[in-house]
Chains A and B, each alone.
Chain A
């Protein structure tokens, strides 16, 4: 089955979850907290196709409030301007697992989609500098995501899943993973696509 088919499937399932969330929450619409990332473009496109004018996007690339980072400024604008909407952040699974505290949004529609999958489809994906450094150190993003999939999705023994990785890189990978543990225990809604999903059957 082609990547196009896979994207269509993922889009359909994600939009189904979002539709149910809209209905259950009674929210007035959706607000994608966008940073012009390929994931943001992807998610906004899906939601616009599925929900039309109900799906909005807010982009804050820089903050004019001293000491307030763009993401926080984004939320401030969202709260002030857009009333009761479900916020959507397009963070990918790799960043969700290794990027520290998850974004503060109601919905994380790509929370089960690895960054390497995004990159295969779009040529680029979003990684923080520190996660990119780990990916480079272990031999590439595909290698990193494969190790994560083996360890977390397939529940392989951690040592076995990370065997073969550069030991220092593996140690750094674990540090990043442990850093986000508290926040992963109380995540936002992630549509289930794979074997283990934050908030549903991944409590670690």
Chain B
């Protein structure tokens, strides 16, 4: 039986992306700002930038700002989150064995329902995260609404395509990416703003969306810490790789798009990527290349 083209398997998902300017080390103010945007947006699911609760350059304050954020846990002392609408993905510093971690926590009514710990910690050039944070060691997905499956990555994670691949292989419809991406390339400028570096993020987001036939939401922050200006340029990309919504490179903003499974299906129909992908082959060849099971047979 053939489904009508616009049938879809899930109700539309109201997605919001909040481009924020977190105040460094001021969790109370940041929580209020996040809650205010969430209430105004009224979305089913809202994404905020990396470390939206604490700001990025916390340095030695990392331990003082770390908080327990395991699934099932309420975030202590943040009453602004008690009545959040829908689900909100906040960036915070998680206190746990092996940490602290740079984590994305999905909150529902102030309780953590899902959590991703940043896997790849940039520790080169201007970045020093390996000094402050422990590495995440797992990937998982969750269902933000009936019929929808989502995954989340944090900043540098998105530059390692293997992670998006793993999540896509688990059948996600939506990939959420938190970032605190600094702006570079001001004298050259970018396609849509002041920073040439923002163009690269957009290319990665659009390519990822199209390769896997998924929606990609990218929440980058704005504002300044020290000499670093964060580049903004938050995006929502459709499963065909088209940009559905874009924020500027300066100033806070809220993007809002209704996601439909029909759009996902329509984007995937011309191709057979999901059907033909062979994750076991990938795993086998990765293991062979890494010599996991001993030398390959001649």
Q: Which residues of A contact B (CB under 8 A)?
A: 1, 5-6, 9-10, 12-13, 16-17, 19-20, 112-113, 117, 189-197, 199-201
B85 at the interface (CB under 8 A from A): no
Knowing A1-B189, A12-B194, say if A189 contacts B229 (CB, 8 Å).
Answer: no
Cα A117 to Cα B187 in complex, Å, equals 9
**B40 interface contact, C-beta 8 A:** no
Q: Are A196 and B125 in contact (CB under 8 A)?
A: yes
Q: Which residues of B contact A5 (CB under 8 A)?
A: 189
Please, how many angstroms separate the alpha-carbon atoms of A117 and B126 in the complex? 24
Residues of chain A with a CB closer than 8 A to B126's CB = 192, 197, 200-201
Q: Is the CB of A194 within 8 A of B229?
A: no
**B22: min CB distance to chain A, Å:** 13
Contact in complex: B186, A16 (CB < 8 Å): no
With A192-B126, A201-B125 already in contact, the answer to whether A13 and B184 are too (CB < 8 A) is no
Cα of A194 to Cα of B225 in the assembled complex, Å: 16
B172-190: which have CB < 8 Å to A?
182-189
Contact in complex: A19, B194 (CB < 8 Å):
no
Known: A193-B187, A194-B184, A194-B185. A13 touches B125 (CB 8 A): no
- Could you tell me if A195 and B184 are in contact, using CB atoms closer than 8 angstroms? yes
> Counting CB contacts under 8 A, is B242 at the interface?
no
- Report the minimum CB–CB distance from A122 to chain B (whole Å): 15
Q: A20-B223, A191-B227, A200-B126 are in contact. List 10 more A-B contacts (CB 8 A).
A: A5-B189, A6-B187, A13-B186, A13-B229, A17-B229, A113-B187, A192-B229, A193-B186, A194-B184, A197-B227
Q: Is the CB of A193 within 8 A of B184?
A: yes
Query: Which among A17, A117, A189 has the highest number of chain B CB atoms within 10 Å?
Result: A17
Is B10 interfacial (CB 8 A cutoff)?
A: no
Instruction: Give how many B residues have a beta carbon under 8 Å from the other chain's beta carbons.
Output: 20
B223 to chain A, nearest CB (A): 8
- Do residues A16 and B187 form an inter-chain contact, with CB atoms below 8 A? no
Can you list 14 A-B contacts with CB-CB less than 8 angstroms, sorted by A residue number? A1-B189, A6-B187, A9-B186, A9-B194, A16-B229, A17-B227, A191-B229, A192-B126, A193-B185, A193-B186, A194-B186, A197-B126, A200-B226, A201-B125
Could you tell me the distance between the alpha carbons of A16 and B225 in the complex, rounded to whole angstroms?
10
From residue B106, how far is it (CB to closest CB) to chain A in Å? 30
Using Cβ atoms and an 8 Å threshold, which residues of chain A touch B185?
193-195
Contacts of B186 on A, CB cut-off 8 Å? 6, 9-10, 13, 112, 193-194
Q: Is B250 an interface residue (CB 8 A)?
A: yes
Contacts of B182 in A (CB 8 A): 192
B166 within 8 A of A: no
Given contacts A12-B194, A194-B184, A200-B126, contact A19 B227 (CB under 8 A): no
Contact status A192-B228, CB under 8 Å: yes
For the complex, give the distance between the alpha carbons of A9 and B198 in Å: 14
Q: Which residues of the other chain, B, contact A10 by a CB distance below 8 angstroms?
A: 186-187
Contacting residues, chain B, for A197 (C-beta < 8 A): 126, 227
